[in-house]
Amino acid sequence: MVENTENTENIENIENIEIVEIAKKAKDAFLKTMNLDNESKNLVLDLIAKEIDKKRAEIFLNNEKDLNYAKTLLEEGKINKATYDRLKINDNKINDLIKGLNDLIKIDDPVNKTVWKKELDEDLILTKVTVPIGVIGVIFEARPDCFIQIASLLIKSGNCGILKGGSEANNTNTLFSKIVQDAIIKSNVMPKDAINLVYSRDDIKKMLELDEYISLIIPRGSNNLVKYIKQNTKIPVLGHASGICHIFVDKDTDFDNALKIITDAKTQYPSACNSVETLLIHKDFSYIEQLKQGLKEKNIKIIENPDNFSFEYGDTVLSLKIVDNIDCAIEHINKFGSGHTDSILSKNKENIDKFLNLVDSSCVFANCSTRFSDGFRFGFGAEVGISTNKTHARGPVGLEGLTIYKYKLIGKNNIVDDYAKGIKKFNHRFI
């Protein structure tokens, strides 16, 4: 049922609806929103932005309830400080949400865009066009601002969604869900069942069985959560199980820049999936000891040659290994990495090109922090998640990753038999 016994005492009017009914209604809603024009979708986004701005005080009040609940969990050791900190909604986060919505409005409609057009014959035209995916189930952990980011991306891309947030943020998520649904109703351009929020862990299990209605699952959470989802559903899953990100320091790297970039990649947001976990240093780099000392002074714990190079710390802890050359670095990354984001710090163009071409990850960088691996920073209009998949979408997933394509073929009473008998011939010419 759509309920949660953990953090719902302050939540009012939680509907007691089976998730299968929610999924059915969401599928019906999708069939009405899949071809919605850009102006209508932007209207909903604009109403959401205005409503968030108007309800700041109420948002802070609900968020305070979640923080009080989470504080108890923190004291009991059930969540860590990083999780607690992510729950906090302040004016800056509200401003960022509003800016994100307004930026999204300015982005071109990702739907019904012609990818290419091909003349099979002079009177037989094939067009590849972008279309929404369908009903998308998104499971995310303790970041309530994610609800607005995800919902807005789904709306702009013509998709519908069933969202499950962390129980630590139930009060904030519930208010954000109400804001979105109120905007949808006020706009009068799409069904209110387009965006839905569910609460219980049981709903996740049931959601994974609903391949008749749900087209894609996107998990944004722990390694264990993603693995569980991938192992328990027939629905395609878009996501990454872990973020084992690397930085390789080449022998000619500038010390000051290396220290600055590595510090940013490890400390700017240690629990993020694009935070660096392993530092590989060329054996001929002249400042190895100085770099280690400089990182320690930034309160980064260094573990040299750990037993497990595939462990995601999610903290200011960094594995370190000295390697013989760039080939050894690439081999290490491809063996122990998670295909998320890896970066090389080097002045050698040949080595940079080799690294970018041979590291098998969704994002490969040169001379910059791994923390740039992000849909907002890539200019995608925020992100719904990051994927290490090699089908459909890879890397930070924004609007484009929330669309698929279909083929439209328009002819003039054409039949295959004419081509089979050689009466007509294909042109196969892009136009």
- For 206-224, the pLDDT digits (tens) are 999 999 999 999 998 777 7
Per residue in 146-170, pLDDT tens?
999 999 999 999 999 999 999 999 9
Rg (CA), the chain: 24
Residue (of 197, 205, 80, 216) closest to 137 by Cα position? 216
Q: At what angle do helices 38-54 and 170-187 cross, to 10 degrees?
A: 130
Instruction: Answer whether 130's CB lies under 8 Å from 423's CB.
Output: no
More confident residue, 162 or 1: 162
Q: How far apart are CA 245 and CA 226, in angstroms?
A: 17
Q: Using alpha carbons, select from 389, 18, 397 the residue that is nearest to residue 209.
A: 18
Q: Which pair of structure tokens corresponds to residue 115?
A: 């990818």
| pTM score | 0.86
pLDDT of residue 1: 35
pLDDT tens-digit readout, 378-421: 988 678 888 888 878 888 888 989 999 999 999 999 999 999 99
Is pLDDT of 11 > 70? no
Q: Give the DSSP letter string of 157-220.
A: TT-EEEEE--GGGHHHHHHHHHHHHHHHHHHTSS-GGGEEEE--HHHHHHHTT-TTT--EEEEE
Q: Which residues does residue 301 pair with via DSSP β-bridges, in sequence order?
A: 317
Confidence of residue 9 (pLDDT cuts 50, 70, 90): low
Going by their DSSP bridges, the two strands 276-282 and 245-249 should be labelled as: parallel
pLDDT class of 55 with cuts at 50, 70, 90: very high
Q: Which of 99-113, 225-239, 311-325 has the lowest mean pLDDT?
A: 225-239
Between strands 160-164 and 216-220, the pairing is unpaired
Residue 4's pLDDT is 44
Q: Region 291-319: what's the mean pLDDT? A: 95
Sorted by where each starts, the structural domains of the chain and their CATH numbers stand as: 19-239+389-406 (3.40.605.10), 245-372 (3.40.309.10)
DSSP string for 77-137: TSS-HHHHHHH---HHHHHHHHHHHHHHHHSPP-SS-EEEEEEEETTEEEEEEEEE--EEE
